[in-house]
Amino acid sequence: MTSKKDDRVVLITGGAGGMGRAIAARFLEAGASVAASDLNPKDLDAGVFGITADVTKVADCERMVKETVAKFGRLDVLIAAAGIWTEGPSDEATEAEFDKVIDVNLKGVFFTNRYAIPALEKTGGIILNIASDAGLVGNAGAAIYCASKGGVVLLTKALAVELAPRGIRAVAICPGDVATPMLDYQASAFGGGDAEGYLANLRSKYPQKQKARFITAEEVAELVYLSASPRLGALTGAALAFDFGLSAGT
């Protein structure tokens, strides 16, 4: 018995990144039509309709939705996966650093969501915003990032309540550390010259201790795909922690 082809249309921001790429692959595997935006869409995998866009620009957030609907005729699933990381002492942070992180991680999510609403209302679709466990608990030295992802969590909850009468669901996915190029950058840029030590310190905080490992992008993609299932109509307004229990005991 063959499984039914997934005929939905999906738009993913940050589609060339580690999580975005894995999410795109998962939906493509199921048969969905996938559009993905990125600063460098040439890095997108085959089969994805690429859109050059910068989520910090409101006009680009609107255009990517319009291009997706023009290409495929509808929009069923929006996944806001574009994001960046920063860390360091708060009393050393700059306005430019703050603006950059908030613009990508929160402003970009809001306006992508905002422009997708009319199209999603027509299909009874879903918004899936990639937040973080750092949006659920505070991380020392990551105040700006935590603020941005905490904003995504409450944005998603607010939209879930607001959009429920219009048939749209909204869910925040809150992964812990994911083994992607962004995590490698994080360790290199903020590890003080000891990237391996930086990563080992992250793993040491997990309840699994010596057996701790990082989440894979494919695991995040599977959670996103399952959460987007139309069979899970009651799943909305949730912030799904996906972090080996790291945030559970905090």
Q: Which domains does the chain have, with CATH numbers?
A: 9-177+216-241 (3.40.50.720), 179-214 (no CATH)
Torsion region of 118: left, alpha or beta (phi above 0 gives left; psi -120 to 50 gives alpha):
alpha
135, 239 Cβ separation under 8 angstroms: yes
Distance between CA 103 and CA 100 in Å, rounded?
A: 5
86, 143 Cβ separation under 8 angstroms: no
- Looking only at the bridges linking them, the beta strands covering 239-242 and 169-175 are parallel
User: Where do we find the tokens 């879903």?
Assistant: 126
The model's pTM? 0.95
Buried b (16+ CB within 10 A) or exposed e, 71-92: ebeebbbbbbbbbbbbbeeeee
- Residue 1 is predicted with a pLDDT of 46
Tell me the per-residue pLDDT of 104-114, one tens digit each, with 9 for 90 and over.
999 999 999 99
Q: Is 185 a catalytic residue?
A: no
The parts of the chain modelled with pLDDT lower than 50 are: 1
Active-site residue identified among 115, 145, 206, 225: 145
